[in-house]
Amino acid sequence: MQQLFDSGTTDSIKAFSIGFGIFMGIVPIWGFQLVTAIALAFLLRLNKALVILAANISLPPLIPVILFLSHVTGSFWMGEQAVTLSLDTTLTYDVMKESLLQYVVGAITLGIVSGVTFGLTAYGILKFLKQPANT
């Protein structure tokens, strides 16, 4: 718990740690997300506890949402070649093979956008909480 509220860590490092953790939780390196996030957190001298906490965005209840949003985001990059999935689409090997590139590109894009969004939001909240109270 001390790592989370370490006063020796700047707000920008804390915010970057959160944003980086979110990115690593979404990026499609299945099974290696957390290990990679921790290793890079050490190399980048980030707040490891915040990186680990944020990287756990890919918990089982959120995985379908992340997969769907990644696929939709990837469709913007694919243009005419985009694969559209709906709830009644039967997921076969061929459908998954056709849309793999779309998913990977979408997941990386979603990871970057989400990481930046959460990082900036965290930075704003941290700065807001440090404002002196007006009496």
Taking residues 55-83, report their average pLDDT: 90
Model confidence band, residue 133 (pLDDT cutoffs 50, 70, 90): low
Q: Where are the domains of the chain?
A: 11-129
Q: When comparing pLDDT for 64 and 85, which is higher?
A: 64
How many Å apart are CA 96 and CA 91, to the nearest integer? 7
Asked whether the beta carbons of 77 and 57 are under 8 A apart, the reply is no
How many Å apart are CA 118 and CA 112, to the nearest integer? 10
Burial class (CB in 10 A: 0-12, 13-18, 19+), 38: middle
Which residue stretches of the chain are H helix? 11-26, 33-43, 48-55, 63-78, 93-129
Q: What is the pTM of this model?
A: 0.87
Q: Is the pLDDT of residue 6 over 70?
A: no
The two tokens of residue 65 are 């949402």
Tokens 């990082």 correspond to 119
Asked whether the beta carbons of 17 and 123 are under 8 A apart, the reply is no
33-65: pLDDT as tens digits? 999 999 999 999 999 999 999 999 988 899 888
How many Å apart are CA 77 and CA 67, to the nearest integer? 16
Q: Is the pLDDT of residue 134 over 90?
A: no
9-26: pLDDT as tens digits? 899 999 999 999 999 999
Model confidence band, residue 3 (pLDDT cutoffs 50, 70, 90): low
Find the Cα–Cα–Cα–Cα dihedral 123, 43, 5, 20, rounded to 10°: 40
